[in-house]
Structure 1
């Protein structure tokens, strides 16, 4: 049963518990009446980290006064009750049962003005949050390990609407892969890439999640088990960013990359047990993770977080997140994408590719 506690600012732990159960029901499909707070998130409910992020995001939407919760702390929570208790413990005010309640956020301190009120002074924040500057680390060319495509295995390649997709498909076919190109609706990606005649294409009629399930089933039933997935994101300029950081089409594509990962979990892990599986995302920023050039949208940067999460959870699947500079010509970009698929280095996840060379991003120091 949900814990009861006096309400503070109109929100109690029991309200948190009820909301969490309803959200978990909505996200997982389990009837709310079957859920118990003592259930194990993974063992009982099968909730992975991607689904956990969706659930916690929905909680933040319903209770905007919830503070930011560190992902590393949340990863340690095993049951729904632990999530509720943890949320309560992070709140500044206490309740009679020892659990903290959600308090209204403090009003920001008034800004101090200087020069007669013309320029507000910066508020000094007292915190112990470490700052970790990032730096680019040059990398040598990737080593090469021969990868025999799995028997009856398929590589699913998303369509960015440029010749790059066709070139990658051709290069993979030359290495023995059976390739299926997954194209998006024309209102998201304006045109379809030209692809070789021997490469199959499946087109999503709309961006509903059910269409992803249907498309992946069509591919598995008609072409073979899915053993590799490469998502090529169109550049922000191609999507009509015009300097905008947040482009609706780019947001829709990143969301679908997350949903594709959700539905590819089982087939790719099954393929890994048979010998080889790949999950790769390709963003088109500046080839340096956004540290050199600001002429792109910010949303596709989420592909790096997705790929690193998948890398931690899918131990047998080779995962890599590429930032391929939009300034690279398509033929060079295609060759480098395929080369990264054959890199034996399983520790490295983030790789930037540009005219300046190959890099990764590291923490340079803590200040």
Structure 2
């Protein structure tokens, strides 16, 4: 009812804010900025809004992403009141931007349904490069006329725009991004870099381009591609120590994928080698127009095409490289989760730990002695300020409370390290201040000895969507992480380092709404770690991409949200043990995600509006000449099993590292004829969305008018064992020898695939077929033997002619499974078994076996319908 809206709503909101921030009501006014005046971060905001929901159940359901962009309490009240008068509001849960560092619920695998610490879903996922043959599809928009601005160093950008235009893309070189741009290929990452600072600045340049694009792409179809040269390997095994500092671009691209659900994105790392700009342009155009759906693509100068995957792998226990009494410097290690990790590690290595942090160790105000909670401390400081006649703003008061708690936490960490058998001291220094850091570490060496280990964990957050993030916010988040590491490496360049560990985040691997800068900074850390290892093989290097931790920044409201989304959280003691195990791991894994399974492009925040991925394909006589043999009334028609091949290739490229185990429920919604086959080709689009459990993709093939032509679900995973056992016996009569391809079937030339029919009866039909290898089809990276499968479908038509008395066409395949074959060629036997015969339809199961009698494909539940008689 109306009771909670209007003036009452304002009072209610103020009281909830007072309760959740601890500020007295009389200090609050509606014009205060949540962040600047009250210090409310994105996590506290979730808690406030959740409490508001509880207290006022009749509040309208609102767009949480919109609420996140409001700055003052008054703006929130105004928005809620307006939403209340519009009854038709779509229910939406909070988006991932309201979570703690690197905690994109969308991107972590299924977790516990209970709220207790269930660690069974926590794992260790090293990031590795894997071969990814191009799947032959174009990024959406390129073939359908979207205007593309090519930015970046002029020689390369002009060459690419020219090459794309020659291939029919509406592309042009632009020195600046046009204001109405919806398609951008950004080659800034190919610029020559004089030094690290120049390389680092490229991250900010591409971020600024993304921010300009955000206004046009946050809810529209479009395209954004970043291109870099960090060895054509995303810095893996690449010892270049300068260019690696621009390596944050893929994390920006992956965040764009989450914030702009309808845009197509890609991050390409291409190794220039000794290639000219024109040669580079050809390789890039090939990838853009015939690569596939992988977001991260690494292109080597040798022609290799690879992508990154994260597969579970346990740590390999080894010896610690740090000996008792050796000096380990830790940035950001005095507080929070890092403190728990270092304290646990101290028990193993008994080293001398030097903790660096921004907090000054000041004496605690006497009035706080003995007080435990933040609320008590706040009240006590407020009272003493009033007694002195000092008027405090909420922000100043919060700062003082924070200082008291921070100093206490640092003292506790130092005590815990000492209790566990290590030595510990704390230095107040900003790690991104190179001169101050060098001075501090000189003192450390003079008093304690050379620095043997380095752990960089300092970091700050300022969650805002790309469109709203200021240069200052970006710089604060990015510099603490990246300039911090740069300073630490410079300051320890002459130390005999044996260990380098950086604390990164799963957000670098997957992107995270609201955290483009944080994700980018952590991705630079990951890649600098890779290049350090390539340059210094004797160094043990770890980049740990943590998922969300229990405690820390996670309040009960947020924890419940994670549980609903199935995101496993890392309990403090479990995480500390994972860290200790990683410090002793002697496998080659450098970049490791710790926590839930990182699933880029998996279910988004509430699954309701899961991101649709798409690819485009032009079908013409130049690309698919064999389709001349699959024509009706002179016009080529796309066979259902070729659609199955396309969907399989696309699904694999959308989900690197996984196989398509089966296609389910492949339906012909409207057959595809190709009127433009001999004249420029016909354009088709493949669309995919995560299906209910995230382990399947709901896929469609649509035409350029958006009319769905085929649909199916692709089941992803690791291939299971093939069906074995003898095939059931069939009682068959001899085939009467009627010529198949003159009278009974319309197939010609490359589609004349049945060599000999062994027999037919009301139970089914069996024949010998040719497959792709023996039918003269083009050599391609075939995922399925489309020729053999089409031969099998032709048998279903012949069986339908017998049972239905006339012409018929396939309309549905309930399940298609394919298994690897020992060798590609050789005779194939196909058998169609009758499952059901109705008045106007047949259902068959078709099994294909190779020369050894092993089955390599099954088409189950194939439905053929009789055509209406002419």
Instruction: Return the TM-score normalized by structure 1.
Output: 0.53
Q: Which residue of 2 aligns with 1:248?
A: 197
Moved more, 311-320 or 28-37: 28-37
Q: Cα RMSD (Å) of the superposition?
A: 4.4
How far apart, in 1, do the equivalents of 2:216 and 2:291 lie?
22
RCO higher in 1 or 2 (8 Å CA, sep ≥ 6)?
1
How far apart, in 1, do the equivalents of 2:161 and 2:35 lie?
51
Does 2:378 align with 1:363?
A: no
Q: Which residue of 2 aligns with 1:155?
A: 148
Shift of 1:135: 1.8
C-alpha spacing 1:74/1:339, structure 2 compared with 1 (3 Å): closer
Q: Which residue of 1 aligns with 2:171?
A: 179
CA offsets per residue over residues 107-140 of structure 1, 9 Å max, x none? xxxxxxxxxxxxxxxxxxxxx9743222211122
Shift of 1:29: 8.4
How far apart, in 2, do the equivalents of 1:298 and 1:34 lie?
45
Write out the 4+ residue segments of structure 1 that deviate beyond 6 Å after TM superposition: 14-17, 37-40
Does 2:15 align with 1:3?
A: no
Moved more, 30-39 or 281-290: 30-39
The secondary structure found in structure 1 opposite 2:164 is: helix
Does 2:193 align with 1:239?
A: yes
Shift of 1:360: 0.6
Q: Is the 2:272–2:301 contact (alpha carbons within 8 Å) kept by the matching residues of 1?
A: no
The secondary structure found in structure 1 opposite 2:40 is: helix
How far apart, in 2, do the equivalents of 1:134 and 1:160 lie?
30
Does 2:239 align with 1:284?
A: no
C-alpha spacing 1:248/1:181, structure 2 compared with 1 (3 Å): farther
Q: Which residue of 2 aligns with 1:229?
A: 184
Q: Is the 1:311–1:317 contact (alpha carbons within 8 Å) kept by the matching residues of 2?
A: yes
CA offsets per residue over residues 177-219 of structure 1, 9 Å max, x none? 4434343xxxxxxxxxxxxxxxxxx4xxxxxxxxxxxx532xx
The secondary structure found in structure 1 opposite 2:283 is: helix
C-alpha spacing 1:148/1:159, structure 2 compared with 1 (3 Å): closer
CA offsets per residue over residues 135-165 of structure 1, 9 Å max, x none? 21112234145966555x421111224x222
Does 2:132 align with 1:139?
A: yes
How far apart, in 2, do the equivalents of 1:291 and 1:150 lie?
35
C-alpha spacing 1:342/1:177, structure 2 compared with 1 (3 Å): closer
CA offsets per residue over residues 46-80 of structure 1, 9 Å max, x none? x987xx59xx9xxxxxxxxxxx733225999xxxx
Does 2:267 align with 1:321?
A: yes
How far apart, in 1, do the equivalents of 2:265 and 2:257 lie?
5
Q: Is the 1:150–1:227 contact (alpha carbons within 8 Å) kept by the matching residues of 2?
A: no
The secondary structure found in structure 2 opposite 1:279 is: strand
Does 2:250 align with 1:304?
A: yes
Q: Is the 2:129–2:308 contact (alpha carbons within 8 Å) kept by the matching residues of 1?
A: yes
| 1:293 pairs with one of 230, 238, 254 | 238
C-alpha spacing 1:16/1:227, structure 2 compared with 1 (3 Å): closer
Written as runs of structure 1 = structure 2, the 5 A alignment for 1:1-367 is: 1=14, 2-4=17-19, 18-20=38-40, 32=72, 34-36=74-76, 52=97, 69-73=101-105, 130-145=123-138, 149-151=143-145, 153-161=146-154, 163-183=155-175, 202=176, 215-217=177-179, 220=180, 226-235=181-190, 238-241=192-195, 247-268=196-217, 272=221, 277-295=222-240, 296-327=242-273, 329=275, 330-343=277-290, 345-346=292-293, 348-356=294-302, 357-367=304-314
Moved more, 280-289 or 332-341: 332-341
Rg comparison, structure with higher value: 2
Q: Which residue of 2 aligns with 1:223?
A: none
How far apart, in 2, do the equivalents of 1:178 and 1:337 lie?
16
Q: Is the 1:250–1:299 contact (alpha carbons within 8 Å) kept by the matching residues of 2?
A: yes
CA offsets per residue over residues 330-356 of structure 1, 9 Å max, x none? 33321121122223733x111000124
How far apart, in 1, do the equivalents of 2:105 and 2:18 lie?
22
How far apart, in 1, do the equivalents of 2:218 and 2:291 lie?
18
Tell me the matched-pair count: 241
How far apart, in 2, do the equivalents of 1:71 and 1:38 lie?
30
CA offsets per residue over residues 280-317 of structure 1, 9 Å max, x none? 11111011111121214333221111112222343432
C-alpha spacing 1:154/1:74, structure 2 compared with 1 (3 Å): closer
How far apart, in 2, do the equivalents of 1:328 and 1:129 lie?
44
Q: Is the 1:142–1:339 contact (alpha carbons within 8 Å) kept by the matching residues of 2?
A: no
The secondary structure found in structure 1 opposite 2:237 is: coil
Q: Is the 2:158–2:172 contact (alpha carbons within 8 Å) kept by the matching residues of 1?
A: no
Q: Is the 1:144–1:339 contact (alpha carbons within 8 Å) kept by the matching residues of 2?
A: no
The secondary structure found in structure 2 opposite 1:341 is: helix
The secondary structure found in structure 2 opposite 1:19 is: coil
How far apart, in 2, do the equivalents of 1:169 and 1:302 lie?
24
The secondary structure found in structure 2 opposite 1:337 is: helix
Instruction: Return the TM-score normalized by structure 2.
Output: 0.24
Extract unaligned runs of 5+ from structure 1: 8-13, 57-67, 77-127, 184-201, 203-214, 221-225, 242-246
Q: Is the 1:304–1:350 contact (alpha carbons within 8 Å) kept by the matching residues of 2?
A: yes
The secondary structure found in structure 2 opposite 1:342 is: helix
Moved more, 258-267 or 134-143: 258-267
